[in-house]
Structure 1
Amino acid sequence: MRPVIVTRHGAVRGTTGPDGIARFKNIPYAAAPAGPLRFAPPRPPTPWNGTRDADAYGPTAPKAPYAAPMDRLIPEVDIPGEDFLNLNVWTPDPAARLPVMVWVHGGAFSNGSGSVPGYDGTAFARDGVVLVTLNYRLGAHGFLHLGPEDTAPANLGLLDQIAALEWVRDNIASFGGDPGRVTVFGQSAGAMSIGALLAMPVAKGLFHRAVLQSGAAHHVLSPDSAARVGARLAAVLGVPPTRTDLAAVPLERLLAAQQLLRAEISARPDPALWGEAALNLMPFEPVVDRATLPRVPIEAIADGTAADVDVLVGCTRDEFRLFTVPTGLAPLVTDDLLESRAAAYGLPPLGVRAYRAAFPGAAPGDLFAEIATDWFYRLPALRLAEARSRQGAHAFVYEFVWPSPAHGGGLGACHAAEVPFVFDHVADPGFAPLLGDAPPQRLADSMHAAWVAFATTGDPGWPAYREPDRTVRRFGAPPTLAHAPREHLRALWEGVR
């Protein structure tokens, strides 16, 4: 028998498998952002009569495909349709009162969806969690800002996420979830989104714990930088830099232009052209517009914003190798390029020498991956943990260190490699190009259990991160505890990151 649940906007009919897990897919949490709503804040969905079938994934946010070779390494789903502000729910018992986890997908704010098969929530529901995945506006639709004369709200993608969390608050009890125990978790741009949500007044009270994987609270754009990106987008399209003119551009042309901007930034990361996006390498990101996002998130968090939200944060050991090894960039990095990129990150020559000493014999491309990993991911994670612990909130830090055998072992423990372990989906064929043929199930058991424990009790199973001990759970085979790992390298970035 197919289960039916009544939400505030209408009834939905899901499916139940032989495992007893009920699944509800393609539930609208906001109106379709089409026509006059394309660049408008999310609005409630139109209520429906009768019972809506919720047995298949719905449309996903418009996006260009990943460029090669990422298109082979990162699973992606593209389902056309305008009504893509939807979410999916897995529950073991609609009559229960269980912890809730809400997944915010990554994709550099321009790709990804909550409908990737590897994000299936069955394992979480099996272990007593109501799991929610969602779609939100990407690229210019989600993060366009055109400067002081642009009176429309920035950060529509973040406002979509907040609308989804409001839907969870108002409806999740009918699916067996406890609206007072909501954990948001996300990876890459999803984690960076959560870092912003922690600093957004309108998100206060919508979640109680947060897990940030390979992203924290540093990656945002100033209004000036965002306006430069918006102006360049309009120039590429040959239209005036207004929302009205950009909204009139056919979708395929807009997506192609967004993809071109990403290529331009990577080819010429000049701050004079792109502002902060030149270092972040993402043209569309959360914007500190002073309205929806009043301050740089890490600064607001350090001053006590969302101090009641416990945090689990971390990264993979070799994050940036995903972007240097498969692309062929690693062997092209020279000593001069290494020095110039390190200087752009704010690391002085003495710091580069310290990395050379820490990794004797490493090629410039390998040293660049180490430095970029620290600047992009590791240091923001540690700074967030420091800020939370100094405010008296619990903060737990992890590092994923299992090296993938893919690409001849060159990927190491790279960006995105931990995601299938968190979801207990290491056998999903979509992850095989990233993980190889035999990823360790025992590591998935350990990592997935830690995420469930944190959502359920607030304790993932190791000591909280506090100075000077700086305890870090390293997820390898087997998991271990480390105390102040890479301390001499962390100290190099004091005052920089």
Structure 2
Amino acid sequence: MSAGCFPAPGNPGNVTVFGQSAGAGCIAALMAMPTAAGLFHRAIPQSVPGTFFSPELAAAISTAIAAEAGTRATIEDLAGVDPRALVDAKNTILEKMPAFVDAWGPMALTPTPFSPVVDGEVLPEAPWPALAAGAARDIDLLVGHTRDEYRLFNTQLGIEMTDEQVKPTLRRLAPGPDGDRRYRDVYPEATPSELYELVHADWLFRMPTVHLADAQYAGGGSVWLYELCWSFNREQGASHSLDFLLVFGTLRPDDVRAHRSAHLDAADQVTAVSRHMRTDWLNFATHGNPGWPHYDPADHTTRVYDTKPATRPYPEEPSRRAWSTHRFDTLPLLH
């Protein structure tokens, strides 16, 4: 969950910023910030989270963390708290967050209490409406996500859930008043446990990412979309952060072989998959084109990274249909 940049050697007119997870949220925020205009020319957000907070929601979360540390959420009071105590307070609130869901909304079901704040000044609005209005039309965008975005965070993994157990989650996270029925319609063969993971993956990372591509296209900008479907082990699948490891080339064949549920040929595949992604990222940063056709909402052109990369329609079409009328925006404090 980090961010960085690719400056072309000696060329301040050719700068690419990139980030993954929280880092992707930061990159999306930069694209929507007037004060960042002109500072970079290309952006690669990987796994964009759909969590941008209103000031009221951010204040409620900060107040709860500060109270857990025995203080108030002011700069002066927090400056006097041992940093380790703040981390402990954050961890305690993280464990309690599901109990705040009625007031804090679906962010209370996420693995972190922190996100960018749409303050109306530095960040005037959330990235999706900002990009759709043309805020980043001069920035080339390469954006994508992994297939199994929620697998690493799924506390119910391996547990057989019932329809009644998954219903509250579908009603809180799926779009619209009939979201739970909509998910069952587009995934008629999915088990309750599979629906639980799918809806979490979609609302938190997959659909915010695809909708950012749609917004950039609507705003007149150039955009390319990807999805990572390759995985090296049965337990985690194509998990959140796997694209991060492949782009940086830090997942080695020996690491793959050492995993207890490694796929048979994964150690022989990882170097090539990593090389494909790194080459495409560098081509994009250097030349402004990763090597496949632009994204177009008419056909949802997507670069799919698997054992061999391929360009085809977006793989998660059922989820895309379920979220087609939803509009990602700033998350409010409910009460």
TM bracket (short chain): 0.7 to 0.9
Aligned to 1:12: none
| Paired residue secondary structure (1:245) | helix
- Following the alignment from structure 1 to structure 2, what is the Cα–Cα distance between the partners of residues 428 and 249? 44
- Following the alignment from structure 2 to structure 1, what is the Cα–Cα distance between the partners of residues 135 and 316? 29
Aligned to 1:257: 89
Call closer, same or farther: CA 1:337–1:178 in 2, change over 3 Å.
Answer: farther
- Following the alignment from structure 1 to structure 2, what is the Cα–Cα distance between the partners of residues 281 and 426? 24
Instruction: Note the 1:75-86 alignment, pairs <5 A.
Output: none
Correspondent of 2:237 among 412, 420, 429: 412
Aligned to 1:81: none
Correspondent of 2:297 among 458, 467, 479: 467
Please tell me whether residue 455 in structure 1 is matched to residue 288 in structure 2: no
CA contact (8 A) 1:400 1:474 kept: yes
Correspondent of 1:494 among 311, 316, 324: 324
- Following the alignment from structure 1 to structure 2, what is the Cα–Cα distance between the partners of residues 332 and 242? 44
Aligned to 2:12: 179
Q: CA deviation at 1:392?
A: 2.2
Q: Which amino acid aligns with 1:181?
A: N
CA contact (8 A) 1:320 1:415 kept: yes
Aligned to 1:238: 70
In structure 1, list runs of 5 or more residues that go unmatched: 1-103, 107-113, 115-130, 133-171
Please tell me whether residue 194 in structure 1 is matched to residue 27 in structure 2: yes
Q: CA deviation at 1:496?
A: 2.1
Call closer, same or farther: CA 1:388–1:241 in 2, change over 3 Å.
Answer: closer
CA contact (8 A) 1:182 1:208 kept: yes
Q: CA deviation at 1:443?
A: 0.8
Q: CA deviation at 1:275?
A: 4.3
- Following the alignment from structure 2 to structure 1, what is the Cα–Cα distance between the partners of residues 261 and 79? 40
CA contact (8 A) 2:140 2:221 kept: yes
CA contact (8 A) 1:302 1:388 kept: yes
Normalization by structure 1: what TM-score? 0.60
Q: CA deviation at 1:293?
A: 1.1
Q: CA deviation at 1:493?
A: 1.1
Call closer, same or farther: CA 1:179–1:428 in 2, change over 3 Å.
Answer: farther
Q: CA deviation at 1:247?
A: 1.1
Call closer, same or farther: CA 1:419–1:257 in 2, change over 3 Å.
Answer: same
Aligned to 1:89: none
- Following the alignment from structure 2 to structure 1, what is the Cα–Cα distance between the partners of residues 284 and 37? 20
- Following the alignment from structure 1 to structure 2, what is the Cα–Cα distance between the partners of residues 391 and 412? 34
| Paired residue secondary structure (1:331) | coil
| Paired residue secondary structure (1:351) | helix
- Following the alignment from structure 1 to structure 2, what is the Cα–Cα distance between the partners of residues 288 and 434? 43
Please tell me whether residue 388 in structure 1 is matched to residue 220 in structure 2: no
Please tell me whether residue 307 in structure 1 is matched to residue 137 in structure 2: yes
Please tell me whether residue 208 in structure 1 is matched to residue 66 in structure 2: no
Aligned to 1:21: none
Q: Which amino acid aligns with 1:486?
A: E
CA contact (8 A) 1:221 1:276 kept: no
Moved more, 344-353 or 415-424: 344-353
Instruction: Note the 1:25-424 alignment, pairs <5 A.
Output: 105=2, 176-215=9-48, 218-265=50-97, 267-272=98-103, 274-275=104-105, 277-324=107-154, 327-331=155-159, 333-347=161-175, 348-357=179-188, 360=189, 362-405=190-233, 409-424=234-249
Q: Describe the superposition over 1:293-312 as per-residue Cα deviations: whole angstroms up to 9, x where unpaired.
A: 11122111111112100101
Q: Which amino acid aligns with 2:180?
A: P
Q: CA deviation at 1:246?
A: 1.1
- Following the alignment from structure 2 to structure 1, what is the Cα–Cα distance between the partners of residues 291 and 169? 38
Aligned to 1:155: none
Please tell me whether residue 482 in structure 1 is matched to residue 312 in structure 2: yes
Q: Describe the superposition over 1:39-93 as per-residue Cα deviations: whole angstroms up to 9, x where unpaired.
A: xxxxxxxxxxxxxxxxxxxxxxxxxxxxxxxxxxxxxxxxxxxxxxxxxxxxxxx
Normalization by structure 2: what TM-score? 0.87
- Following the alignment from structure 2 to structure 1, what is the Cα–Cα distance between the partners of residues 251 and 276? 13
CA contact (8 A) 2:207 2:320 kept: yes
More helix as a share of residues: 2
Q: CA deviation at 1:464?
A: 0.6
Structure 1 or 2, whichever has the larger Rg, is 1
| Paired residue secondary structure (2:183) | helix
The number of residues matched between the two structures is 319
| Paired residue secondary structure (2:13) | strand
- Following the alignment from structure 1 to structure 2, what is the Cα–Cα distance between the partners of residues 185 and 428? 25
In structure 2, list runs of 5 or more residues that go unmatched: 328-335
